[in-house]
Each structure stands twice: as structure tokens, then as C-alpha cells.
């Protein structure tokens, strides 16, 4: 299943991360400074101590 999450704030990023870890094909939509940050750094995960998911621009 393909899923689109509109908004890459705290909640959207958490939801997209959980879906991606479950094997879903996820597109996380962001704009402005947040989109640029995600292109450069990936999306932080809720896994501890730290995990990063890289995104396509």
C-alpha cells in the first residue's frame, strides 16, 4: 500500500516513521525550511538511542 503523510511536523514524522518501519511505501510531504532540512539530514526516528531515515527529494 502507498501512503502519503501531509505535514512533516512532529506527528506526521512519527506516523510516517512507524509506517515505513512496518514496510509500507510512505511519502512524507513537507515544505519550506522543514523540507530543506529533511533533504539534507533525513528524518529523525523515535527509536532510541538514535535512528535516521533518509528521504528522497
Domain locations along the chain: 2-43
Grid-cell match 539530514, residue found = 41
pLDDT at 15 over 60: yes
pTM: predicted TM-score of the whole model, two decimal places: 0.69
Output the nine-digit C-alpha cell for 50: 538514535
3 closest CA partner among 44, 23, 30: 23
Whole-number mean pLDDT of the chain?
80
pLDDT at 51 over 60: no
Grid-cell match 512507524, residue found = 18
- Listed in order, strand segments (DSSP E) in the chain are 2-6, 25-29, 43-44, 52-53
Residue 49 pLDDT: 46
pLDDT digits (tens, 9 = 90+) for 5-14: 999 988 998 8
Amino acid at each position: 500500500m502507498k501512503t502519503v503523510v501531509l505535514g512533516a511536523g512532529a506527528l506526521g514524522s512519527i506516523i510516517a516513521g512507524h509506517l515505513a518501519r512496518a514496510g509500507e511505501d510512505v511519502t512524507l510531504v513537507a515544505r519550506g525550511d522543514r523540507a530543506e532540512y529533511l533533504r539534507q539530514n533525513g528524518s529523525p526516528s523515535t527509536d532510541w538511542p538514535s535512528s535516521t531515515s533518509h528521504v528522497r527529494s
